[in-house]
Amino acid sequence: MTIEPDRLLWSESDVRLHMGTTSLDPWAWRWIPSDSPRSAVEVSATDAVAKVMGRKARRIPIGVIGPKEATEEEYATAESLGSGLARLGVQMLCGGRSGVMEAACKGNLQNGGSPIGLLPTEEWDSCNPYVAIPIATGIGPARNAIIARGCTVLIAVGGGYGTLSEIAYGLHFDRLVLTLGNAPFAAGTLPCADVDDALARMARHLLFETAQGLS
């Protein structure tokens, strides 16, 4: 049962996120019936995710995809995106190589994150220097399908055919695919104005789509 968006309320008294007559179980990612909080403050979706992730929460990966040869603008955008995901406490996953992947990992690692790199190669040490958790698959570009399947949201920063394949896999697997900059167009993707817009859309998806109500 999909939850209809409502005001998000954070309660310090019970250290929980509330919405209407439910509260979020951040390990199961389910909205469950709950009494109304005694005292709570309204929070945005991004603030809510940051507070939830600061507690005991299951960290469902968010994917960052993009070209291994990035422009200066793409590199800066990806680094900012990786930083933002780390500040929210969200687990980031990417392809673990150069370009956009390196930039996102750099921003993520330097802001307290532990970026996962799902590598196409056979050895872990082929990753960029900012990958905290390298996973060598040895399956080449086929690893793009695993990235798309394993993440609940994909965020594309620029890209060419490789990125387009990840976007296509994401749409095929019914994932939310957000795009920044000149990422390849595909029907079903959602262009974002900037990194903050992408993070806000990602946060709302986590809270209102990934987290559902108990049927």
Q: Is 183 found in the same domain as 102?
A: yes
pLDDT tens per residue across span 192-208? 999 999 999 999 999 99
Let me know if residue 32 belongs to a domain: yes
87 and 66 share one domain: yes
pTM for the whole thing?
A: 0.94
Residue 92's domain is classified under what CATH number? Answer: 3.40.50.450
Pair (98, 33) in one structural domain: no
Pick from 31, 2, 89, 48: which is nearest to 203 by CA? Answer: 48
Both 104 and 51 in a single domain?
no
Query: What tokens does 27 get?
Result: 């390990």
Pair (73, 138) in one structural domain: yes
Same domain, 115 and 90: yes
Kindly report the three-state secondary structure assignment for every residue of 117-156. EEECCCCHHHCCCCCCEEEECCCHHHHHHHHHHHCCEEEE
Condensed to tens digits (0 to 9), the pLDDT of residues 138-162 reads 999 999 999 999 999 999 999 888 9
Work out the average pLDDT over 118-140.
97
Domain span at residue 163 reads 62-205
Inside any domain, residue 136: yes
